[in-house]
Amino acid sequence: MSVVDVKNVSFAYAGNRVPVIQSLSFSVDERAIVGILGASGSGKSTLLRIIAGLETPCEGSITIAGRTVVDARTFVQPENRGVGMVFQDYGLFPHLTVAQNITFGLHRLPREQRQKRLAAMAELVQLEGYEGRFPHELSGGQQQRVALARALAPQPSILLMDEPFSNLDAALKQSIRQELSDILRRAKMTCLLVTHDEQDVEAICDRTLRLS
Amino acid sequence: MAERAKLIRALKKHTNSWLILGLLGAAVILLPLVPIILGLFKAPNENWQHITQYLLAGYLLNSLQLVALTGFFTVTLGVCLAWLIAAYDFPLRRFFRWALLLPLAVPPYIAAYTYSTMFSYTGIVQKTLRSFDVTPNPKWFGVLSMRGAVFIFTLCLFPYVYMIARSFFERQSGSYIENAMLLGRGPAAVFFRVALPLARPAIAGGVALVVFEVLGDYGVTSYYGVHTISTAIFQTWFGMYDVDSAIRLAAYLMIGTVGLFLVERWVRRNRRFSSSTSKMRPLAPRRLKGGWSWAAGLFCGSVFAWSFLFPVVQLGVWASWTFESVFTPAFGELIIRTVSLALLATVIIMFFAVIVANLHRTNANPFTSALSRWVTAGYSVPGAIVAIGVLACFIGLDRVLAPFYAVLGLGKAPLVLSMSLVMLVVAYVVRFMATGFNAVEAGFERVGTKFTEVSRTLGFGMTRTFLRVDLPLIKGAIFSGIVLTFVEIVKELPLAMLLRPFNFETLATKAYQYANDEKIFEAAVPSLLIIGVSMIAVYVLNQVGKEAGE
Ligand SMILES: Nc1ncnc2c1ncn2[C@@H]1O[C@H](COP(=O)(O)OP(=O)(O)OP(=O)(O)O)[C@@H](O)[C@H]1O
Ligand SMILES: [Mg+2]
């Protein structure tokens, strides 16, 4: 069964005549990890933003977990789409601790379950003992793992990742790539991953989607 | 069909309580301007004939002269000081760098009566001269004139130009100027051929603030007997009781200021472009040698002394004479009333400012940018226009509500709203929304939309996101917005004079009243209080400037 269905989606930024994305269709199966490749400026980030509900396509429809989130008459707000997103520069809230960042999206859970989920997430990304720190007290790789834990915590139906490795140096990238692959598979996550790097795709992804 | 479905989708997507509240704020600001625009289409009365025939040309000429002269002198003084401080190093430069902002804390109307008294026959200047056996012709000191008004406005308002030009020179002109110097140009050529043309948009922004301030002034011009369009509005209103003509005058003045507003936008249209081209190197000031360095220090020192030190010291002396008789319990009450009124208006302003700024930031589209432009238009509308518009609105509202009042047993067609403080609060909101909005917008700009988007994908709606994420991140900006707006309101004169209910005084109207009754020494106490409060705002402005530079 497919988790995400993108049908004939076209998009242009306001004031631009040339569309960034034109009649794009694809679907992502459950638990698949799909790499999105393409040259700089080909619309990779834009595609993720459309799926997350941060931009509105001018044509086409998107279905997530069997529910239409956008078509000509529907628009589901990003907070109601059940989509997790890891941004390129992570966007960790600077005024919140690691624990508060990770539990941010769990406001609908009772307190006890929230703590349980925090512990599970910290274990998953191997950050036990860092819960009280603030983002600026973490290394780049640790920040990335917090962002990942935060996006996974509310158990989204799909995880969107925009160039998760671009802020890491080559050596760190090697180890984290493997780690990420393990984490995603352990969490049984469906994932769309934007990258520049063919090696990322080989190491992590089940299949690729090329934007031009 | 598809277009219609999409339109409905967009409406559904954007319609939330934020949009509704934002529209409400815009309506509050629009309403007072409606009677003024409508006034243009009414047939003029006989009085208007008289006004256009005998008075209008004179008023217009005075206004233009005042604006042109003040503009010229503030630009000359402000730009020279800005260049001196930004490009050169001399004794006490670091002190003058912020001290030259302090004149902003002295409202022009306070400087006006302080200086006219200091220069009068019994004032300190002529007395001192006489004690040296110099008996000058008193005519030389006749500040109660156009000359005096220009002098006062220049001293009080040059910091607007200075502030904006200085930060431009310091931050954005470094590499150009160094290049020009490397190409072998002398200091004069560098200033006139490179720095000045580059800074033109910044200077235009500063001088626009000066012009709006001068056009909106009531205190200085009426005290010095200079008849401008603004004072003419008051006169036809209160002197001739001819509201229709006053509205018509206001409409003409508004057309003029809207024109200026557009010109300013046009001059500054490339501002964003020029500041975002690349990371600019800050300008490193060069040491001045010997006599030049003393001359520079002396120049800055005398501007500082005349624009801030002398009047404040003089007020301090006067205040010490009258403190006991003025500072009664009733005066304490007056302070409390002024502060609570200003706080109330500030809270309302910040509320709408945050709503509109957040709407514009999260849904940047032509509609929201028009909305944000609209709510900030009030700063360019002179106080006299706002006052008369608000009054006309509330009298109309009272008329509409008359049957309702009758039910409440308030009598036949009473003036309830138009006799209350509500009117003054609304006028403050219209006039000073821009101050709060600009502070909030600057805060949002620094934070960006990244954290907001993250929060949205984590299941928080717009309101919860604002409370949990945006608010903690921009609380500094909101705080400075609160301080700046609060201070503007505390020192505001014309709106308070015109719209306060019977027997209601603010610090500003009290000070002005004293001065008008020739009780200048008594006026010193409330004046110093206003200056003290305003100095907090200058401090905040300076801090904000520092942060923006980092
Ligand atoms: N806010 C915006 N307004 C207008 N145009 C934009 C905006 N954001 C991106 N674009 C344009 O849309 C196109 C696609 O941008 P996008 O960020 O999706 O590319 P990308 O594939 O993620 O590139 P990269 O690999 O460099 O991150 C680019 O040409 C870009 O210039
Ligand atoms: Mg990108």
**Type of residue numbered A62:** I
Copy the structure tokens of residue B28. 């509050």
B162 pLDDT more than 90: yes
Q: What is the pTM of this model?
A: 0.86
How does A51-89 read in b/e, with b if 16+ C-beta sit within 10 Å? bbbbbebebbbbbbbeeebbbbeebbebbebbbbbbbbe
Q: Where is pLDDT greater, at A156 or B273? A: A156
B272 pLDDT more than 60: no
Q: Does A87 touch chain B (CB under 8 A)?
A: yes
Q: Identify the CA nearest to A153 among candidates A102, A82, A91.
A: A102
Q: What is the mean pLDDT of chain B?
A: 86
A51-60, B1-10, B319-328: which range is least confident on average? B1-10
Mutation pick for ligand 1 pocket among A21, A22, A24, A46 (CB with most ligand atoms within 8 Å)? A46
A212 pLDDT more than 60: yes
Q: State the pairing for strand pair A83-86/A158-162.
A: parallel
Contact list in A for residue B2 (CB cut-off 8 A) is 72
B278 pLDDT more than 50: no
Q: Identify the CA nearest to B168 among candidates B194, B195, B189.
A: B195
**Type of residue numbered B421:** L
Q: Classify residue B159 as exposed, middle or buried by CB count within 10 Å of its CB (0-12, 13-18, 19+).
A: buried
Cα gap B358→B448, rounded to integer Å:
11
Copy the structure tokens of residue B83. 């260049």
Write the residue with the smallest CA distance to atom 16 of ligand 1. A43
Q: Give B318-381 as a DSSP string.
A: HHHHHHHHH--HHHHHHHHHHHHHHHHHHHHHHHHHHHHHHHHHHS-SHHHHHHHHHHTGGGGS
* HSE (side-chain half, CA atoms, 13 Å) at B318: 26
Contact list in B for residue A81 (CB cut-off 8 A) is 457
pLDDT in tens, A96-120: 999 999 999 998 899 999 999 999 9
Q: Where is pLDDT greater, at B331 or B125? A: B331
**How open is the CA angle A85-A31-A194, to the nearest 5 degrees?**
40
Q: State the pairing for strand pair A21-29/A2-11.
A: antiparallel
pLDDT in tens, B9-63: 888 888 888 999 999 988 888 888 888 888 888 888 888 888 888 888 888 899 9
> Quick count: other Cβ atoms within 10 Å of Cβ B211?
24
Q: Does B473 touch chain A (CB under 8 A)?
A: yes
Contact A105, B459 (CB under 8 A): yes
Across the interface, which of B8, B10, B457 has its CB nearest the CB of A85? B457
B269 pLDDT more than 70: no
Confidence of residue B287 (pLDDT cuts 50, 70, 90): confident
The dihedral built from the CA positions of residue B2, B5, B9 and B10, taken in this order, carries a sign that is positive
Q: Identify the CA nearest to B151 among candidates B61, B207, B74.
A: B74
Confidence of residue B277 (pLDDT cuts 50, 70, 90): very low
Beta bridge mates, A11: A21
* CA B362 and chain centroid, separation: 28
Which residue is closest to A93 within chain B, CA to CA? Answer: B451
Q: Cα of A88 to ligand 2 centre, how many Å?
A: 8
> Quick count: other Cβ atoms within 10 Å of Cβ B323?
14
User: What is the distance in angstroms between the Cα of B279 and the nearest Cα belonging to chain A?
Assistant: 21
Cα gap B395→B410, rounded to integer Å:
16
A141-A145-A150-A151 Cα dihedral, nearest 10 degrees = 100
3-class secondary-structure state, position A61: strand
Give residue for tokens 């010109």. Answer: B263
3-class secondary-structure state, position B505: coil
Which residue is closest to B366 within chain A, CA to CA? Answer: A14
Phi, psi values for residue A75, rounded to 5°: -145, 115
The answer to whether the Cβ–Cβ distance between A87 and B450 falls below 8 Å is yes
3-class secondary-structure state, position B206: helix
Question: Which ligand has its closest atom nearest to the C-alpha of A18?
Answer: 1
Cα gap A153→A85, rounded to integer Å:
11
- Predicted confidence at residue A96, as pLDDT, reads 93
DSSP structure class, residue A75? B
3-class secondary-structure state, position B266: helix
Which residue is closest to B461 within chain A, CA to CA? Answer: A79
B446 pLDDT more than 90: no
C-alpha separations of B341 from A173, B36, B150, B349 in Å: 59, 26, 32, 12
* CA A100 and chain centroid, separation: 19
Q: Classify residue B152 as exposed, middle or buried by CB count within 10 Å of its CB (0-12, 13-18, 19+).
A: buried
Q: State the pairing for strand pair A67-70/A59-64.
A: antiparallel
Q: Give B115-133 as a DSSP string.
A: HHHHTSTTSHHHHHHHHTT
B106 pLDDT more than 80: yes
- Residues at CB less than 6 angstroms from ligand 1: A 13, 16, 20, 38, 40-46
Please report, rounded to a whole number, the percentage of residues in chain B having pLDDT higher than 90. 35
Copy the structure tokens of residue B263. 């010109």
